[in-house]
Structure 1
Amino acid sequence: MRDYAGVIIVVLIAIVIGYNAFGSMGNGSRGMSGSNAQDTYEELPSEPSKSEVLNSIDQSEATSIRQLLSDSFPLLDTVETDEGHSEIFMTQNLTLPETAEEIENKIEPEEVSDRDEGKQVLIYPDEFVILQESEEEPGLILIELASDEFVRNNYSPSFFQGLLAYSLLNRMLGSSDWANRREARCQSEGGCYGGYSMYGGSNSGSFRGSSNRGGGPGTGK
């Protein structure tokens, strides 16, 4: 009987191991859920040549920054939250300084930040244009058009260090102490937005891009 019991135990173990192995093969999401899951861009949107982009900006009759960006650059993604939204445009044909200069010369912003670590910010009435060199795609410039509501309620103030003084941010966002209060909340609660990342799902909470291309905000900085 002792020999039979040993055989039964071995058979049961083999069944359990086999079930787990074949069960995981039938479920592509196994082991891929949670904050470590990464979406990928199989293909970026098509983009006109550099000369066509420059000509589009130069000839544009846009009266708003949103219209100028949507007329001149491909839309990569959108980010929707209960407290504001942003749209992500892109270019591979212009450098970050070229992109900022072309936009600024066409529609003058209220404020222009310093350029630091591949980032720069142009501030318009009720909207921020946040330019970043993509960390995932060399040569790709991300152009985020974010409502001031989105910046006020989602962004981590530390993202703007080296770019804009907190006193200026407070003034542009209509608050006397937004930066300090927001920074304290980000540190205590986490989940603050730290700029768009193409693959999302890291340390910035549950923000996700709303397009089918798989984008989403990235880590706080």
Structure 2
Amino acid sequence: MREYGGIFVVGIIAIVLLFNVFGNGNPMRGISGSNIEDTYGELPSEPDRSEILNKIENSEADSVEDLIQQNFPLLDTVRSDQGTTSRIYMTRELTLTEVADALAGAITPEEISERQEDKQALVYPDHFVIIQESEEEPDVITIELASDQFVRNHYSPGFFNGMFTAILLNRMLGSNDWYNRKSNTCRQSGNCYGGYGMYGNYNTGTSGSLRGSSTRGGGPGTGK
């Protein structure tokens, strides 16, 4: 009987271990750092809406990078193995339209996209600013500050459908055929970045080439 009792205990332990490994319903998908559902249990605090808008309107920032950093809390950083980064800021005080209008009013972008499926993009000389309504957190707007190199190397062209034409995307990324060439690559590999998701849903493929940071947060003026 003792032998059977020992086998029973070992079996229970094995079941628990298997459940912990396979039963959480949230696979890594080759990306670490942004897929744990309680990661954002406490989102960064912010000033109220009028203060944010007033600070942006009166900002002396000379780049959109500084403008965003000074006025929105840092939520996450997506890094690639190639060394390119995309920094994710957020707000719960402003709407998508208010964010886009405030940033464009303070520092004029080279291009402003059409709003498409709760997202919009502003294009500056060295950066894309991609503003989205979060699907995971109600009333959260994410503001992705991605270098043009990050967009060129990792983004799926399909993400921008309805926002920019293929010709315009090619021109902004300094290529004659980026849209078609990258579209083919994405179809073949299934491994292109499809926009930021707060719980690790931002990569459409299974490669480990993109990962979120292990530390998050940091509000305006913290030097992050």
TM above 0.5: yes
**Which TM-score bucket, shorter chain as reference?**
0.7 to 0.9
Q: Does the 8 Å contact 2:119/2:131 carry over to 1?
A: yes
Identity %: 49
Superposed counterparts of 1:72-87, under 5 Å: 72-81=71-80, 82-87=82-87
Equivalents in 2 of 1:75, 1:117: separation in Å? 24
Deviation at 1:211, TM superposition (A): 3.7
Residue type of the partner of 2:70?
A: D
Equivalents in 2 of 1:57, 1:125: separation in Å? 20
User: Number of matched residues?
Assistant: 205
Superposed counterparts of 1:136-147, under 5 Å: 136-147=136-147
Equivalents in 1 of 2:180, 2:56: separation in Å? 37
When the two structures are superposed, what TM-score results if normalisation uses the length of structure 1?
0.84
Q: Residues 21 and 120 (structure 1 numbering): CA distance in 2 closer, same or farther, change over 3 Å?
A: same
Q: Does the 8 Å contact 1:83/1:150 carry over to 2?
A: no
1:210 alignment partner, one of 204, 208, 213: 213
Equivalents in 1 of 2:61, 2:54: separation in Å? 13
- Structure 2: runs of 5+ lacking an equivalent: 218-224
When the two structures are superposed, what TM-score results if normalisation uses the length of structure 2?
0.83
RMSD: 2.4
- Secondary structure of 1:79's counterpart equals strand
Which has more radius of gyration?
1
Partner of 1:149 in structure 2? Answer: 149
Higher relative contact order (CA 8 A, sep 6+): 2
Partner of 1:4 in structure 2? Answer: none
Deviation at 1:25, TM superposition (A): 4.8
Which string of whole-angstrom CA distances, capped at 9 and with x for unpartnered residues, describes residues 20-65 of structure 1?
A: 4235657995335743793121111111111111111012100000
Deviation at 1:189, TM superposition (A): 0.8
- Structure 1: runs of 5+ lacking an equivalent: 1-6, 215-221
Deviation at 1:83, TM superposition (A): 4.8
Q: Does the 8 Å contact 1:83/1:149 carry over to 2?
A: no
Q: Does the 8 Å contact 1:24/1:30 carry over to 2?
A: no
